[in-house]
């Protein structure tokens, strides 16, 4: 991983910086929420044992907690306010070419001192599969949690990846070790919501369930290598099985059933190209 594609701040300082940006936006009536690895870290800070797993497993080879950027999501109805906030209030820089390519779906900013870059997505994440948040304040999912997206959306963000890698499996391990599958609390992963989303999209369902299976194999590997103990493996695996059961029991839509007949004989995911900055 190139040193230019990582955050040049200590972890604790970067977490405070990320939270400060969301707080400042909130004071100006702008809804911003943190997504990705930074959101997983913030949402798991109440469980020190979970954060310790970063050091024991490593997100990038044998290294501990490393963040490559700050990913945020906002509503497209507030796009103009978001641009003014980053450019005039915070003084962030933008790439003219990137703006021309992605302005309606995504904004990419560079910190004034080049300490990190920020990706702001609007309304939904469009990668292998879509994770939808809505387009207007008060009518979407971003207000379900603060300063990050909801745990269910955070897990869906990882489950939608067709070619999942080690760092995403580590993030899922942390997330599921520090949060149970339940409902009615911001500290619970809403399995019913995840199951409902997957019950209408066979392709998303297929990759999500495959990734949960890969996570169980990853846990076994980490246990054999001495990176985690049996209690961690059992806790996460039990929650994976609980979620899989909820997903299996959720009635599937006619759309899902129709696509299931085609299976993997035709592409079921979107090809994702890396953005070169």
User: Going edge to edge, which strands form the sheet with 32-34?
Assistant: 32-34, 70-74, 117-122, 106-110, 93-94
Q: How many CB atoms within 10 Å of residue 236?
A: 24
pLDDT confidence of residue 60:
61
The alpha-helical segments, DSSP class H, found in the chain are 11-27, 36-43, 48-57, 79-84, 96-102, 151-159, 166-178, 191-198, 202-224, 230-249, 254-262
The pLDDT score that the predictor gives to residue 3 is 42
Residues 56 and 169: their CA atoms lie apart, in Å, by: 14
Would you state the pLDDT for residue 55?
Answer: 85
- Give me the phi and psi of 242, to 5 degrees please: -65, -45
Tens of pLDDT, residue by residue over 126-169, are: 999 999 999 999 999 999 999 999 999 999 999 999 999 999 99
What is the model's pLDDT at position 2?
41
Question: Please, what are the domains in the chain?
Answer: 3-265 (3.30.460.40)
The pLDDT value given to residue 103 = 66
CA distances from 110 to 13, 80, 209, 254, 271 (A): 17, 18, 36, 45, 26
pTM above 0.75, yes or no: yes
Q: Which of 249, 9, 22, 233 lies closest to 117 in space, CA to CA?
A: 9
Which DSSP helix (H) or strand (E) runs through 46? none
- Distances in Å between the Cα of 265 and the Cα atoms of 103, 211, 214, 272 are 35, 19, 21, 19
Q: What's the confidence (pLDDT) of residue 63?
A: 60
Find, among 69, 72, 267, the residue nearest to 167 by Cα. Answer: 69
Low-confidence residues of the chain, pLDDT below 50? 1-4
* 36-49 tens-digit pLDDT: 999 999 999 999 99
């Amino acid at each position: 991983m190139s040193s230019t594609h990582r955050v040049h701040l200590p972890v604790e300082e970067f977490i405070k910086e990320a939270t400060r940006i969301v707080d400042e936006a909130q004071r100006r009536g702008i809804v911003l929420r943190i997504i990705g690895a930074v959101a997983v870290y913030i949402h798991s800070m109440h469980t020190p044992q979970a954060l310790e797993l970063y050091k024991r497993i490593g997100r990038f080879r044998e290294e501990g907690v490393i963040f490559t950027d700050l990913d945020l999501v906002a509503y497209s109805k507030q796009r103009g306010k978001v641009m003014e906030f980053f450019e005039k209030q915070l003084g962030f820089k933008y790439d003219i070419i990137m703006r021309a390519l992605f302005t309606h779906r995504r904004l990419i900013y560079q910190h004034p001192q080049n300490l990190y870059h920020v990706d702001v997505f609007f309304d939904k994440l469009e990668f292998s599969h879509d994770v939808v948040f809505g387009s207007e304040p008060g009518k979407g999912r971003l207000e379900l949690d603060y300063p990050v997206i909801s745990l269910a959306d955070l897990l869906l963000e990882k489950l939608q990846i067709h070619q999942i890698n080690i760092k995403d499996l580590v993030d899922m391990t942390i997330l599921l070790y520090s949060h149970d599958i339940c409902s009615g609390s911001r500290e619970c992963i809403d399995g019913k919501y995840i199951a409902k989303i997957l019950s209408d999209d066979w392709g998303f369902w297929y990759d999500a369930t495959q990734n949960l299976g890969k996570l169980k194999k990853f846990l076994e590997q980490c246990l054999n290598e001495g990176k985690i103990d049996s209690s961690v493996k059992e806790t996460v695996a039990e929650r994976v099985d609980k979620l899989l059961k909820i997903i299996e029991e959720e009635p599937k839509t006619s759309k899902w059933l129709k696509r299931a007949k085609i299976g993997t004989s035709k592409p079921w995911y979107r090809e994702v190209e890396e953005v070169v900055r």
